[in-house]
Structure 1
Amino acid sequence: MTALAAPPKSPPPKLAGRESAEANRRRVTRVAYALLAPTIIVMLIIVAYPIVQSVIQSFNSDASGIDPKTGLFRAGGFVGLQNYTNWLFQQCQIGGVTQACPPGSPQAGFYNSVFVTFFFAIVTVALETVFGIWMAFIMNRNFRGRGILRAAVLVPWAIPTAVTAKLWYFIFDPSGVLNTVLNINVLWLSDLWASRFAIIIADTWKTTPFMALLILAGLQLIPEETYEAARMDGSSAVQTFFRITLPLLKPALVVAILFRTLDALRMYDLPAILTGGGGGGGQGTQTLSILVVKQIQQSNDSASALSTITFLLIFAVAFLFIRLLGANLTGNERKARRVAKEA
């Protein structure tokens, strides 16, 4: 008499459900990667390749003049970190000798451009955040004509930057609208600090609606029941703002400030059109982006090093912003996934 084989044990229902969910998740992931693959390939071609090529080119020397035999530019060759040290230590190659750059040279204005760039970024982002919160609170209220107001707020942001710059150029003209209305005589685009504040005013006017929209989206996610509970507990308007609104608005506010800061650090259009990077008879409004463009017209290799330095500065700001100021918005999501997986 032969013994019958025992039937195979089926996995517990809970384990089978987990395996099925894991297989479904892997299938969805494969489909997502397949759909994203064309976009990733295009981004690698138009973004990653130029960045890599620029970094490689930054380690080469500039053309060392015209070869009298061929009439062509001589190839410079690999020089390591020389282009970077020239910018960071404000050195120039004069007659084959490395020495301090004379005043007025691009390298001599490097740290001035760094200061101008960060000055514009800090001041404009601070003003746009304050005005953006104020505008978002107004647009978040229920009143007749709210839709028209929201559409009107978008107008400055929708205008191209070049058009905005020319508009404010005529406003800041010595005989323009601003001086005429205020009955003053300020050289807004020639004086050092006046030209800087002129750019700040124009940029704040144009970009505040962007901040307001992002902050408005965060305000609309706050449940109305939270405010009702605060009013029942006797919370004042100031207490409600600092203890309820700001903490709940933090994710949207941090994202808005981060995006706007990174955008302000690469400011080019407004100062280039309004003052050409000048102001005060020098380089008072010359940002790093303007300096890069000017250097491209003279030397590709040196400009590649400068653009790489600019990229690293912006990357460092973004990294510190995320790590130190709490812009990591995915931490709670990771924790939720981990808790769900352990359950």
Structure 2
Amino acid sequence: MTTATEPTEPTGPGGSAAPDAAPSPARPRRRGAGRGEGTLAALLLSPTLVVLALVIGYPLLAALRESFYRQGEGLDANGFVISGDRFAGLDNYLDAFTGANGSAFWNAFWNTTFFTVVTVAVEVVLGLAMALVMHQALRGRGLVRASILVPWAIPTAVSGLLWRWVFDADGVANALLGHQVLWTADGWPAKFAVIIADTWKTAPFIGLLVLAGLQLIPGELYEAARVDGASSWRQLRSITLPLVKPTLLIAVLFRILDVLRMFDLPYVLTGGQKHSVQTLSVLAYNEASNLHYGPAAAYATLLFCYVVIVAYVFVKLLGADLIAEARSPRAPEDRSARLFPRARRADRTAQAGVQG
């Protein structure tokens, strides 16, 4: 009599499964698993989204709506005086570009752009120099790193008052120069005062971010460079700057977005009515203080669009650079061999001698 047996999988030598054995079918995923995870994620994110909608979304929409209205008195079609808010359409935006307020808007726009370009460029150079100094193995390095945070930790309003005392007519700056300069008056001295004060405060921020990037660079690259006879400038150009570039670009992006919204430093340092240091934020504040809420909202909306455009372009360029690096990654050893072949050959000779 024969008995029926269940078919067994083919086995190879030693009882292991044969190489050509078909894999067991995967278990089907539960249909409701993905939907349940999406619902849970939405529930967990909903409090944050509600807060963002109340804190950012509603004020933004309210300012956008306000920019289409004007306040004050006017005449209707029958010649009667009417007061209060009236719909103005795009008149506030047209006046900002070509109308009665055009000169004030373009002056504030160019001042904002000028401060952004100059201060960020100076802060990048000084921040990189600070990071290189703090990265060296010197005595008291921890104290230097802690003390460099002091200017950045001081509130901007307090920093503005401090530099206002320094740039006073009888202040420290004129005493050191031996010349009477009206730093807080209108003109180029006021621009230089704002640039110096902003650089003093925020250059340490870039320095600390760059220092974090420097600490990730392997020391073997610099050893290979020294063996190959590379100078300090060649090491900076071929090793330090390329490898610290992602961190430096992030620091520059943060500073660009911060300077574009500059308000408190020029307002406290030189006052809010100086033509040469009036930024878009200061202009919007002055218009709102004069109860011109429509033009003020229009200026604020234009500033918001300016910041979004700059951030978008910068992020697109930064993202393309990172994607290109991810597609063709180079290990530190490959970079060392490519830049400094003599050190690579010396290393291979030493390894061959040890093995022999």
Same fold (TM over 0.5): yes
2:148 to 153, 160, 166: 153
Q: What is the percent sequence identity of the aligned residues? A: 43
Are 1:40 and 2:49 counterparts? Answer: yes
Residue 189 of structure 2 is matched in structure 1 by: 194
Q: Secondary structure at the match of 1:142?
A: coil
2:91 is aligned with what amino acid? Answer: Q
State the partner residue of 1:300: 293
| Equivalent in the alignment of 2:73 | 64
What SS class does the counterpart of residue 86 from structure 2 fall into? coil
Instruction: Give the TM-score taking structure 2 as reference length.
Output: 0.77
| Most deviating of 270-279 and 134-143 | 270-279
CA deviation after TM superposition for structure 1 residue 239, in Å:
1.1
Tell me the distance in 2 between the aligned counterparts of 1:30 and 1:276. Answer: 52
Trace 1:192-271 onto structure 2 (pairs within 5 A).
192-271=187-266
Superposed counterparts of 1:156-167, under 5 Å: 156-167=151-162
CA distance 1:236–1:25, change in 2 (3 Å): farther
1:286 shift after superposition: 0.5
Residues paired across the two proteins, number: 307
Tell me how far 1:235 sits from its aligned partner: 2.0
Q: Distance in 1 between matches of 2:229 and 2:294?
A: 65
Q: Does the Cα contact within 8 Å between 2:134 and 2:211 map onto a contact in 1?
A: yes
Does the aligned pair in 2 maintain the 1:255–1:327 contact within 8 Å?
A: no
**Deviation at 1:332?**
6.6
Pair 1:288 & 2:298 matched: no
Q: Identify the residue that residue 311 of structure 1 maps to in structure 2.
A: 304
- Call closer, same or farther: CA 1:158–1:224 in 2, change over 3 Å: same
Q: Work out the CA distance in 2 between the residues paired with 1:25 and 1:240.
A: 51
Task: Spell out, residue by residue over 1:239-263, the C-alpha distance to the aligned partner (whole angstroms, 9 max, x if none).
Answer: 1111111111110010000110110
Q: Once the 2 structures are TM-superposed, how far is the Cα of residue 134 of structure 1 from its aligned partner?
A: 0.4
1:62 and 1:302 in contact (8 A); partners too: no
Distance in 2 of aligned mates of 1:300 and 1:179: 40
CA contact (8 A) 1:277 1:287 kept: no
After the TM superposition, which parts of structure 1 deviate over 6 Å for at least 4 consecutive aligned residues?
A: 3-7, 17-20, 23-30, 332-336
Q: Which one has the largest radius of gyration?
A: 2
2:92 alignment counterpart:
83
Q: Is the 2:70–2:292 Cα contact (8 Å) retained in structure 1?
A: no
The CA RMSD measured in Å over matched residues stands at 3.4
Unpaired runs of at least 5, structure 1: 92-100, 337-343
Shift of 1:313: 1.1
Shift of 1:149: 0.6
In structure 1, distance between residues paired with 2:27 and 2:231: 51
Q: Is the 8 A contact 2:134 2:144 kept in 1?
A: yes
